Amino acid sequence: MIDDLSTGSPENLKQAAASGRLTLHTGKVSDLNILKMAAEGVDLIFHLAAAVGVELVVKSPIRTIETNLRETESILELASEKNIPILITSTSEVYGKSSNEVFRETDDLIIGPPTLGRWSYACSKLMDEFLTLAFVKERGLQAIIVRLFNTVGPRQTGRFGMALPRFIQSALKNDPIRIFGNGRQSRCFCFVDDTVESLIRLVDSEKTWGEIFNIGSEHEVTIQELAELVIQELGSQSTLTFVPYENAYGSGFEDMKRRRPSVEKLLEFTGFHPQTTLREIIQKTAESWK
Ligand SMILES: NC(=O)c1ccc[n+]([C@@H]2O[C@H](COP(=O)([O-])OP(=O)(O)OC[C@H]3O[C@@H](n4cnc5c(N)ncnc54)[C@H](O)[C@@H]3O)[C@@H](O)[C@H]2O)c1
């Protein structure tokens, strides 16, 4: 595994490291020495390294764009040169401002203007998708692209703007829960174990290569409902505080009203789709912070 530990934490890898089945190469994916060393004897690559989190994306657009383009380009070159199949993680953000009720892999994508920094994440991930498919077409690379929708679970950090870990940590301390915007924006939260199961089933199938798949929960909840459920599930005394977007992310910030995946294709190709309930997700995630 390669990780530069820029947003990831070695603490989270303790259990895997103790099993003796994980070797961590600390550094950037684009460092060719590290990349070649880590790729020795590898028969499959999962590429997850990226600049993530709305807060980080808005504050550091150069880092976001460079990381998401350069690292993916490096790993695609290596996978193609060494003939190693690869799964690339993209994001539901690529659907942008689409007003569709449900997002399908074949949909048109409606991205905001370059003057609004948040779209740099969607665009850089979308370029990753184009580049991956170009390698598939021109160099015969075996690759799968997945678009992840809000993936959450134990030990996830809230430092870079993710809502659920921040809400749970505030609720456990009975601190006010800060909601950005009016709380009526909705999302679908997928448990990380379901995402992992989906990824494994996708690479285990023969028919999935060269394809794009949504991975996410279909259960839609507004951010206010999410905060209220966290308070209820954890028996917390927290109250809700609404923070205007411009105070959180600066002026001109755009958010999507809703974002719900169709996982029909995932189900059709793998026989699986994420189903862990939000209550279970909250309990399991909170457990990791107690
Ligand atoms: N969690 C979500 O809701 C979500 C949603 C959509 C897409 N994704 C995608 O899934 C992938 C994993 O995201 P995550 O939520 O687990 O975030 P994460 O921050 O836990 O994982 C990203 C990892 O990449 C590492 N990293 C960053 N830049 C690197 C570089 N140049 N070289 C090596 N390592 C580097 C970070 O230290 C971190 O451990 C990302 O590609 C992200 O875009 C996640």
Domain 2-289: give its CATH architecture: 3-Layer(aba) Sandwich (3.40)
pTM: 0.95
| CB-based pocket (< 6 A), ligand 1 | 2-8, 28-29, 48-52, 67, 71, 89, 91-92, 148, 150-151
Task: Count CA within 13 A, CB hemisphere, residue 131.
Answer: 23
For residue 54, the one-letter residue type is: V
CA dihedral for 70, 75, 78, 83, sign (positive or negative): negative
The mean-pLDDT minimum among 9-18, 91-100, 142-151 falls in 9-18
Element holding 39 (H helix, E strand): helix 32-39
Q: Which phi-psi region, left, alpha or beta, contains residue 257 (left: φ > 0; alpha: ψ -120 to 50)?
A: alpha
Once rounded to an integer, what is the mean pLDDT over residues 171-187?
Answer: 95
Paired tokens of 8: 């990831």
Task: Count CA within 13 A, CB hemisphere, residue 256.
Answer: 28
Q: Distance between CA 99 and CA 95 in Å, rounded?
A: 9
Domain definitions of the chain by residue range? 2-289
Q: For a ligand 1 pocket test, name from 148, 193, 288 the mutation site with the most ligand atoms within 8 angstroms of its C-beta.
A: 148
pLDDT tens by residue, 54-88: 788 888 889 999 999 999 999 999 999 999 999 99
Q: Distance between CA 203 and CA 174 in Å, rounded?
A: 42
Q: How far is the CA of 47 from the centre of ligand 1 (A)?
A: 9
Ligand 1 atom nearest 6 alpha carbon: 37
Is 252 a residue whose pLDDT tops 80? Answer: no
First to last CA, the chain: 28
Contact yes or no for 236/174 (Cβ under 8 A): yes
pLDDT value of position 282 = 97
**Higher pLDDT, residue 169 or 58:** 169
Partner residues linked to 240 by β-bridges: 177
Q: How far is the CA of 219 from the centre of ligand 1 (A)?
A: 23
